[in-house]
Amino acid sequence: MTTTEQADTPPATSRGMHPLRLAYWLGAGMLWGLVLWWSFFAPSPDTIERVYSRGLFRLFNGTLPGLTEGFGFSIALIIVSTIVLGFPLLWAARWGWLRKVRGKSHWAGLAFGLRILFVLAPLIICWFVLIWGAGYGRLPAEARLSLPTDEIADTESAELRAAMLRIIETDLIPEEQRDIDRAVASIAAAMKGVVEQWDGVPVRLPKGVKATPPGLLLANGTSGIASPLTLEPHVDGGLPSTAFVYVAAHELGHVAGMNVEAEATLAGFAAGLKADDPYARWCVALDVYLDLVRQLPREEAKAAMELLPELAKKDIQASREAGEKYRIKWLDTWSWRLYDGYLKAQGIAEGRKNYGKGISLFVYAWRKGLITLPESAKPNPQPQEASAPPAQTEESGGDDSI
């Protein structure tokens, strides 16, 4: 072969797939392989507990909150908005360019978006599992904390309601003196100690939560969310102060590694009651009290609600009004059905009903001494009755004139 013939021969790579395209398809194939592996061969709860929940997750938990906390806005909201809004716009623009400039068919425009989705979908799934989703498979709180799960007696419930009511009456903070940021920071600080005691591994939490635009979450019947992409806790900005604080406690529980709703409630209750800020304790005690009251028959529940101070009743009404103001009924129904399916897909058989188990876990943990109640929860000592003087006898020689 002459030199001229060699120059006219195309390089070997031009006869096959371009290296970048090959890397793209190989990468997508590996990601889908990981998704399928996790779907069918997920590790046991013991392994997830030891390797992920108390190991790998703590690495992400110790990194992501530090990176996102300094921003006054939600990084997760920007990411989701970019994907949900930006990708369709990019797809449409590319589709039009291929048709008008390159003269390609509609199939070429369709294929562009499908190729992106083919790698984007498993990438998001893998990120979700790595940062958050794997934690759904950890050992349940009942097992890892060895909780006594005997049926809750009426006397236990009554004792805890009385304790919460004492906190509500003692730690009551006037509206003008309430500091939401201080209360949430106090709960976050307390939760670090609580979770470290339970798991035996340090945990990092942001000092606060991020408020969404009013109604963004309440529109679909929710009030808070912890982003599984960035570990940012969010609370709807339309909530009144008291509801904002106790919802924040729940979301901080998620960021601390409590994926299951009931366990996030447990962590929020435990940390809120241990917080050094009286308003934080007041908010969480009110939330606990309401959960306990919901377990009562209708007439007993009404009587228990009447025992609350007027300011507590006012806060409860404000929370209800906020929900009614922003809720969109059809969106509420649709989103909760979707979330119910999501929870069941993560292995939570009861779906959204798992929320109701939080108060049961709280009672179990209280039984075992894992819940620290503040001093204001203790009953005031009853003054002792004055003892009668010893009876006079003939031998005692008592003076009748006394």
DSSP-assigned states of every residue in 150-168: PPPPHHHHHHHHHHHHHHH
B/e letters for 363-394, b = 16+ CB within 10 Å, e = fewer, are bbbbeeebbebbebbeeeeeeeeeeeeeeeee
In the sheet with 224-226, reading across from the earlier edge strand, the strands are 210-212, 233-236, 224-226
Question: In degrees rounded to 5, what are phi and psi of residue 234?
Answer: -125, 145
* Cα separation, 221 vs 224, whole angstroms: 10
d(CA 57, CA 42): 16
Does the pTM of the predicted model rise above 0.75?
Answer: yes
Reference 188, options 211, 209, 205; nearest CA is 205
Provide the sign of the torsion angle of the four alpha carbons 85, 131, 35, 348, taken in this order.
negative
Rounded to whole angstroms, the Cα distance separating 190 from 306 reads: 31
What are the C-alpha distances in Å from 36 to residues 31, 32, 121, 310?
9, 6, 13, 55
Q: What is the CA radius of gyration of the chain?
A: 29
- Cα–Cα distance between 98 and 211 in angstroms, integer? 42
Contact 312, 202 (CB under 8 A): no
What are the structure tokens assigned to 210, written together? 């991020």
Structure tokens at 376: 């204001």
Q: Tokens representing 138?
A: 């950890």
Q: What distance in Å separates the CA atoms of residue 48 and residue 46, rounded to the nearest whole number? A: 6
Cα–Cα distance measured from residue 116 to residue 68, given in angstroms and rounded to the nearest whole number: 27
Spatial neighbors of 200 by CB under 8 A, at least 6 apart, are 54
Tens-level pLDDT at each residue, the chain (402 residues): 444 444 444 454 445 678 888 888 999 999 999 999 999 999 999 999 999 999 999 999 989 988 898 888 899 999 999 999 999 999 999 889 988 888 888 898 898 889 999 999 999 999 999 999 999 999 999 999 999 999 999 999 999 999 999 999 998 888 889 999 999 999 999 999 999 999 999 999 999 999 999 999 999 999 999 999 999 999 999 999 999 999 999 999 999 999 999 999 999 999 999 999 999 999 999 999 999 999 999 999 999 999 999 999 999 999 999 999 999 999 888 988 888 888 888 888 878 877 889 999 999 999 999 998 988 888 875 444 444 444 433 333 333 322
